[in-house]
Amino acid sequence: MADRKRLFLLTNDDGINARGLSSMIDLVRPKGNVFVIAPDQAQSGMSHAITVKYPIRIQKQKEEDGLIIYSCNGTPVDCIKLALNKLLNRLPDMILSGINHGSNSSTSIVYSGTMAAAIEGCLNGVPSVGFSLLDYSPDAEFAGIIKYVDAIIENVIHRGLPDGICLNVNFPVNHSNEVKGIRICRQNKGVWREEFDQRTDPQNRDYYWLTGEYFNLEPEAIDTDEWALKNGYVSVVPVHVDLTSYESLDYLKSWKFNPPVGGSA
């Protein structure tokens, strides 16, 4: 046991100084060695973006017993790639992303840097979980949900995740002990409808700010993450990275391609 402590790799998309990341560091330090690499500023909405146009720089912020912290000018996925391919000399035992300030449930998963980091870990064969609290405030309070974060991490440690599966965990906003429990869910169908806030700058040129509102496309469903969160539960969605719609394969195979393009399957 003593010869090999568990190694946790942590990142987020709110940046190195976010409270949600500090809460996660505090939680996992007693469990093993902790290596943190997180963006030097907020990278919300960066999804699975990687940095190819600009050089990536990192800076060691701290190194003390069992804890190393780097900041990085790249995206959350850059952070994971750097850690796995350059900075660590072995695969971590687990990748933990977050705790994010704000929801990554339902369709928001596709925009989320937090979940992209977890998915990147998963693609590389590391058990990975993204955690998000439905509170965008920089002062969001994580104390009330930590025992649930811990319960999920302990299950991943002791029971494991299936190959190619990571978890998208979201927490309802927590006042005192309002959380009712943990629900295993599917991803809700929804869409962000955007309002673009149009303004004019001092040079008289128009510009836009993206602002959006989430629409639930299946408000009656009770097996989704949206339902769980709205009803005071923690939502846990098992996530994979195969985007194939298997049920559409036969339909597409019935298409005729004109001009004839021999050999269509």
Are 19 and 50 a contacting pair, CB within 8 Å?
A: no
Could you tell me the smallest distance in angstroms from the CB atom of residue 58 to a second copy?
8
90-109 footprint of a second copy as x/- string (CB under 8 A): -----------------x-x
- Pick the piece of the chain touching a second copy (CB under 8 A) from 32-40, 88-96, 128-136, 256-264: 256-264
Instruction: For residue 42, give both structure tokens.
Output: 């907020």
DSSP for 133-156, written as a single string: ES---TT---GGGHHHHHHHHHHH
Q: Does 219 bind a second copy (CB under 8 A)?
A: no
Q: Does 258 bind a second copy (CB under 8 A)?
A: yes
Could you tell me the smallest distance in angstroms from the CB atom of residue 8 to a second copy?
19
Q: Does 142 bind a second copy (CB under 8 A)?
A: no
Are 115 and 169 a contacting pair, CB within 8 Å?
A: no
Please give the size of the binding site for a second copy, defined by CB under 8 A. 98
Residue 25: which H helix or E strand, with range?
Answer: helix 19-28
Residue closer to a second copy by CB (options 66, 161) is 161
* Whole-angstrom distance, CA of residue 37 vs CA of residue 96: 11
- Pick the piece of the chain touching a second copy (CB under 8 A) from 19-27, 61-69, 132-140, 149-157: 149-157
Q: Does 176 bind a second copy (CB under 8 A)?
A: no
Q: Does 152 bind a second copy (CB under 8 A)?
A: yes
Q: Does 60 bind a second copy (CB under 8 A)?
A: no
Q: Which member of 17, 61, 124, 216 binds a second copy (CB under 8 A)?
A: 124
Q: Which residue bears the tokens 């303004």?
A: 199
* Whole-angstrom distance, CA of residue 236 vs CA of residue 97: 14
Q: Does 63 bind a second copy (CB under 8 A)?
A: no
Could you tell me the smallest distance in angstroms from the CB atom of residue 24 to a second copy?
18
Category of 193 on φ-ψ map: left (φ > 0), alpha (ψ -120 to 50) or beta = beta
Contacts to a second copy from residues 2-41, by CB under 8 A: none
Buried-state track 19-32, b at ≥16 Cβ within 10 A, e below 16: bbbebbbebbeebb
